[in-house]
A and B are shown apart, each in its own frame.
Chain A
Amino acid sequence: MYDLISAGGAMLRLAPSAAVHKGSVLLPDNPIETTPLTQLSDALAEAVQIAARSTVLVNARRRFPATGVAWSADGLVVTANHVVERDDEIGILLPDETETSATLVGRDPRSDLALLRVENAELVPAERVAADTVKVGQIALAIGWPRPGSPMASFGVVSAFVNRRRRRGGGTPLIRPDLVMYPGFSGGPLVNVSGQVIGINSSHLGRDGGMTVPSETVDRVVSALSRDGRVRRAYLGVASQPARLATEIEGSDRVLLVVMVEAGSPAANAGLLVGDSIVAIDGARLRSADDLQAALDAVDVGSRVSINIVRGGESVEVQVEIGERA
């Protein structure tokens, strides 16, 4: 295979091809030169190819299909919840372009993830990377397969880690990529330059531009959905705000002041009152609403936890049976 390479106006004709034009020389196409830039370019194309082996097309909504990622060899596929508009007749295009269908295992609207199962298919599960190896500023690719043909890719960097605990029912740190999530890219993977999956993209998370749910969170949601068909989230039933005590307790004066107790909630049943200061849950100190959410994320629905409070200047311990958030 030959290719036209310019050579400073020399007029040489090295092959009897009509393709040759004046001022050009024919040189072998490969190798021209290998530079760090060509290596990077090749690595990116390779990463797309690797990721594509685990990327499927998910056809479960009216307008246009979206993307999914093979999560286990025996047929589990992760996608974005919002692209699965119907519970059945979910069409799947496998990486080898065979058409098949999937059943819905479960949904988790809060993380915008849905879990599908493809029967009788041998999938190549996506290779995942742990969030602590992901660095802000590293190159990332979003892979999407919303149309028959080959998967597509957009390019950018990991922009930020976003702590989402303050959002209602949150507790999940998300990754903010600086790249374009084109229509139908939701449910597809964000990958590094080795094609390993950093997380699952959703254009519906975040205010605009979309977010990525880290692979470890996806793992947790996948096991919850496989087990229960839903993600059960712990519920206490208080609203709180940070406050300071007049005196320190074990080195800190920071507490959470209860400003509201929902009627009939686990907190109400345990006798928590507006004006109580929450010091700790199961021995873990709370200094912010984030800490409270994190403590709740760590406990199972139905378990009993002890909450240390200060009420009227006295330290009190109450037992609460954790409920499930509706």
Chain B
Amino acid sequence: MANGRSVGNIMITGLPAVEELSVVAARVRRGVVAVRSADGSGAGVIWDGDGRVVTAAHVVRRGPLTVEDAEGRTYEATLERSDEGNDLALLRIPAGNIEPPAWAFDAPVRTGQLVLAVGNPWAIPGSVSFGIVFGTGEVTPDNRVSLPGAIYADLRLEPGNSGGPFVDARGRVLGIASMVSGGMAVAIPAATVRRFVENVV
């Protein structure tokens, strides 16, 4: 391949992998919102065209709640439900036309695969950070919280990333960022999020 250069066994021409990263980031950011509560701010992910938004429970413990979408429009949000055990909450905003991102509910998550996190760190909406999956499953972080099937990422998370998505190289949401534990970023997997939203007991 002309002008190609090899990274391992991948040919990279004109560095499309790098360009693709920004394409994926731009696509996902459209479906990520900033969530503000009396306690501070976090992020959320548009769930559907009915104005439902998924976020982390610890972000929305105390109202009033407001949501700012990627276009900068702000909405009053109501808390529909929250699950402190899985650190998930479901909000509703009066906006029915925001395109939700794709979700990867069933795709296997492999250690080493790329991850993007989008959030609202230090109240900078739509910030993107980049890393890989560190590990999955029954890893109990230092604070002894055990989250079955959690996704651990080698990725920089800051206050305000909570509730935002972990996204794979195809732009699909793998999970919802919950916390940093032992230096690792921890996300609640998409399958758990779906069970929560659909209220599967």
Name A's B-contacting residues (CB within 8 A): 1-6, 8-9, 11, 18-19, 21-24, 29-30, 32-33, 35-49, 138-139, 141, 147, 149-155, 179-180, 182-183, 192-194
Nearest-Cβ distance from residue B137 to partner chain A, whole angstroms: 6
Nearest-Cβ distance from residue A267 to partner chain B, whole angstroms: 47
Nearest-Cβ distance from residue A123 to partner chain B, whole angstroms: 21
- B102 at the binding interface (Cβ < 8 Å): yes
Q: Check if A37 sits within 8 Å of B132, measured CB to CB.
A: no
Kindly state the separation between the CA atoms of A48 and B197 in the bound complex, as whole angstroms: 33
Count chain A CB atoms within 10 A of each CB in B47, B107, B114 and give the residue with the most.
B114
Q: Check if A21 sits within 8 Å of B10, measured CB to CB.
A: no
Neighbouring A residues of B31 by C-beta, 8 Å: 6
Neighbouring A residues of B131 by C-beta, 8 Å: 155
Neighbouring A residues of B8 by C-beta, 8 Å: 43, 47, 192-194
Neighbouring B residues of A32 by C-beta, 8 Å: 170, 172
**Which of A18, A36, A183 meets B10, CB within 8 Å?**
A36
A-B contact pairs, 13 of them (CB 8 A): A2-B106, A19-B198, A23-B49, A24-B100, A35-B20, A42-B113, A44-B132, A151-B111, A152-B134, A152-B135, A182-B183, A182-B184, A192-B8
B169-195: CB near A (< 8 Å → 1, else 0) gives: 110100000000011100000000010
- Taking A23-B99, A141-B132, A147-B139 as contacts, is the C-beta distance between A3 and B114 under 8 angstroms? no
Kindly state the separation between the CA atoms of A39 and B114 in the bound complex, as whole angstroms: 10
Kindly state the separation between the CA atoms of A287 and B82 in the bound complex, as whole angstroms: 70
Neighbouring B residues of A3 by C-beta, 8 Å: 102-107, 172
Q: Check if A6 sits within 8 Å of B113, measured CB to CB.
A: no
Q: Check if B17 sits within 8 Å of A22, measured CB to CB.
A: no
Neighbouring A residues of B169 by C-beta, 8 Å: 35, 37-38, 40-42
Neighbouring A residues of B20 by C-beta, 8 Å: 35-37
Known: A6-B99, A48-B110, A149-B135. 14 other contacts (CB 8 A): A6-B102, A21-B48, A37-B114, A39-B17, A42-B113, A43-B7, A45-B110, A45-B113, A49-B110, A149-B137, A151-B135, A152-B135, A153-B134, A154-B132
**Which of B50, B97, B132, B139 meets A153, CB within 8 Å?**
B132
- Taking A23-B48, A43-B8, A192-B8 as contacts, is the C-beta distance between A38 and B112 under 8 angstroms? no
Name B's A-contacting residues (CB within 8 A): 7-10, 12, 16-17, 20-21, 24, 31, 47-50, 97, 99-107, 110-114, 131-139, 152, 154, 168-170, 172, 182-184, 194, 197-198
Kindly state the separation between the CA atoms of A9 and B137 in the bound complex, as whole angstroms: 34
Neighbouring A residues of B197 by C-beta, 8 Å: 21
Neighbouring B residues of A9 by C-beta, 8 Å: 49, 97, 99
Closest to B132 in A: A155
Nearest-Cβ distance from residue A36 to partner chain B, whole angstroms: 4
Nearest-Cβ distance from residue B178 to partner chain A, whole angstroms: 18
Closest 3 CB pairs of A and B: A23-B49, A48-B112, A193-B8
